[in-house]
């Protein structure tokens, strides 16, 4: 059975397969793109309608609240009016003056009727006192706005005299603790409902029990909560201080029409893109026929050129690699010579100091023998101790400068730490920086080489000292955890490692110090790995310094 031949991207077979795939994709796009456009545009249009409707509903609710606040203020002021209280004390016959006053206030406050009830619920003064449908003499003790006025009450109902619906706001009138009567204002919302009706947004105000009281459709007044309006967005807002709810229904017909227009435009765009894609496909098919004829010629020519240039390219590559290796070796040799020279100078200085140091010690001991007591003898004793100290430092320097033997064996940890602290003592004492040490068992040892372990610790301690030059209360803490491996931590309370420094901490020649080489941590980590261990830095913690961890194998 023969293997199936691969289809060339420029072959007729490929274009036939691509043509069928293009037809399927085109049909899918012709359906999906208009649908996506319809639903996307419709969602945006509905959101805009919802925002506009909410703003309109808030405006209507604020208008209604303003009317109610104004009328509440009217009855509150009248309830404290001296003329009103005097009339209630004197009775029905003294109400004409108050009626005239109420008539003037009614026009100013845009209310429908203002009237005054005595303690029995009978009207003794009214703003319509001189009209045929005057409220004077009528008994309204059965009304909730009279019975529940303590101090205010609110009731929406049909008028028993006028037969017109309206809102009744009342406020009791008291003389001390005694009830004198009740001031009532009736407000009709004909103008407000007419203004709302000029908008396409149907609006209803319902009481707490769902009864419609203010509406753009008079047929719904005093009915239960009206059913939802089809193809509309319902918006509901509370009316402050009443327990009412203002409901507005925003028609969505406009959003649907906009979405349909967008879907049609998207469908036309897809058809146009399909036509352009078909033209491009045909053009590529023609170009592919010509490309196949040119390809064979170019392939033969390129093969000949490649064979002729391969040898030359290989030779050039080898010369470039050799030049790079030579440059790297020269750079490494220069750096190695610098470090070696520094080591020789350090070892030489430590060696040359020993002879004059021994002379100073001998002279100090002789002087101490001649002056066994007194201040002079004490000073000579101090000189002797200082020469011993300098001798210890030079011994450590010469030991540190010795070439490692390469032999790995047990290295007691306490002498290594003490030697490292001695080598860095000048830096630490310059800033009076304390170093906190744990209890180190005498028999605790690591597998390694003393000089190389000391080199790692000296690098870590030096970095810790230099990182805290500007700190007000610097300190260094050395910690030890012993198990199958020994983990030695060096922590400080300096500024810590910035993220950009932490990312390149062990990269060669990467340093944040003005005079640094960027090799100390690189060399230290390589030494730790050669000894079978590892050197790492903890992740930065805000407000804490840096912490380095040296992990070495525990000596058996």
Instruction: Say if 184 falls within a structural domain.
Output: yes
Query: How many structural domains are present in the chain?
Result: 2
Instruction: Say if 1 falls within a structural domain.
Output: no
Which of 160, 188, 216 delimits the end of a domain? 188
Instruction: Say if 505 falls within a structural domain.
Output: yes
Which of 188, 219, 243 delimits the end of a domain? 188
pLDDT in the model for residue 455: 86
Its domain, for residue 442, covers 408-553
The alpha carbon torsion through 71, 75, 78, 79 (nearest 10 deg) reads: -160
Residue 406, classed as helix, strand or coil, is coil
Instruction: Say if 283 falls within a structural domain.
Output: no
Comparing C-alpha atoms, which of 467, 462, 523 is closest to residue 494?
467
Instruction: Say if 508 falls within a structural domain.
Output: yes
pLDDT in the model for residue 5: 47
Instruction: Say if 4 falls within a structural domain.
Output: no
pLDDT in the model for residue 485: 92
pLDDT in the model for residue 265: 80
Instruction: Say if 107 falls within a structural domain.
Output: yes
What is the C-alpha to C-alpha distance for residues 463 and 231, in angstroms, rounded to an integer? 75
pLDDT in the model for residue 39: 78
What is the C-alpha to C-alpha distance for residues 61 and 238, in angstroms, rounded to an integer? 8
Task: CATH number of the domain at 492, please.
Answer: 3.30.565.10
> Left, alpha or beta for 495 (phi > 0: left; psi -120 to 50: alpha)?
alpha
pLDDT in the model for residue 396: 54
Which of 131, 166, 188 delimits the end of a domain? 188
Structure-token pair, residue 21: 């795939």
Residues of the chain with pLDDT under 50: 1-5, 7
Task: CATH number of the domain at 114, please.
Answer: 3.30.450.20
| Residues 6+ positions from 97 with CB-CB distance below 8 Å | 83, 87
Instruction: Say if 528 falls within a structural domain.
Output: yes
pLDDT in the model for residue 1: 43
């Amino acid at each position: 059975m023969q293997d199936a031949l691969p289809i060339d991207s420029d072959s007729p077979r490929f274009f036939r397969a691509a043509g069928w795939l293009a037809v399927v994709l085109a049909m899918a796009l012709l359906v999906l793109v208009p649908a996506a456009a319809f639903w996307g545009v419709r969602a945006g249009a509905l959101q805009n309608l919802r925002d506009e409707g909410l703003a309109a509903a808030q405006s209507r609710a604020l208008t209604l609240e303003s009317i109610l606040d104004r009328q509440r203020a009217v009855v509150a002021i009248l309830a404290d009016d001296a003329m009103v209280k005097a009339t209630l004390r004197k009775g029905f016959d003294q109400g004409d003056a108050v009626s005239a006053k109420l008539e003037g206030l009614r026009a100013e406050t845009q209310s429908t009727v203002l009237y005054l009830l005595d303690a029995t619920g009978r009207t003794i003064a009214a703003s319509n006192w001189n009209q045929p449908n005057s409220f004077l003499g009528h008994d309204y003790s059965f009304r909730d706005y009279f019975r529940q006025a303590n101090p205010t009450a609110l009731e929406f109902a049909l008028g028993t005299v006028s037969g017109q619906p309206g809102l009744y706001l009342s406020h009791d009138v008291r003389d001390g603790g005694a009830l004198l009567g009740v001031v009532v204002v009736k407000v009709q919302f004909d103008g407000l409902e007419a203004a709302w009706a000029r908008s396409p947004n149907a609006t209803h105000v319902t009481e707490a029990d769902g009864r419609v009281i203010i509406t753009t459709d008079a047929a719904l007044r005093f009915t239960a909560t009206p059913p939802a309006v089809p193809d509309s967005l319902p918006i509901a807002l509370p009316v402050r201080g009443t327990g009412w709810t203002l409901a507005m229904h925003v028609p969505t017909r406009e959003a649907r029409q906009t979405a349909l227009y967008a879907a049609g435009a998207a469908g036309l765009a897809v058809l146009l893109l399909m036509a352009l894609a078909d033209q491009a496909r045909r053009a590529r098919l023609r170009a592919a026929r010509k490309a196949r004829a040119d390809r064979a010629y170019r392939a033969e020519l390129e093969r000949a050129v490649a064979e002729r240039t391969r040898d030359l390219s290989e030779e050039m590559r080898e010369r470039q690699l050799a030049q790079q290796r030579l440059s790297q070796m020269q750079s490494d040799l220069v750096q190695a010579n610098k470090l070696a020279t520094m080591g020789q100078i350090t070892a030489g200085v430590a060696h040359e100091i020993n002879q004059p140091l021994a002379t100073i010690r001998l002279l100090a001991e002789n002087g101490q023998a001649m002056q066994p007591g007194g201040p002079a003898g004490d000073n000579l004793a101090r000189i002797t101790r200082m020469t011993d100290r300098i001798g210890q430092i030079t011994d450590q320097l010469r030991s540190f400068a010795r070439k490692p033997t390469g032999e790995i064996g047990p290295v007691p940890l306490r002498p290594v730490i003490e030697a490292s602290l001695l080598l860095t003592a000048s830096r630490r004492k310059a800033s009076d920086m304390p170093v906190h040490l744990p209890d180190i068992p005498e028999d605790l040892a690591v597998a390694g080489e003393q000089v190389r372990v000391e080199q790692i610790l000296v690098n870590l301690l030096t970095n810790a000292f230099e990182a805290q030059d500007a700190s007000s209360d610097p300190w260094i803490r050395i910690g030890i955890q012993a198990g199958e491996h020994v983990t030695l931590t060096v922590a400080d309370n300096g500024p810590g490692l910035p993220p950009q420094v932490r990312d390149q901490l062990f990269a060669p020649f990467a340093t944040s110090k003005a005079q640094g080489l960027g090799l100390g941590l690189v060399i230290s980590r390589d030494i730790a790995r050669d000894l079978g261990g590892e050197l790492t830095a903890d992740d930065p913690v805000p407000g804490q310094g840096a912490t380095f961890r040296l992990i070495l194998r525990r000596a058996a």
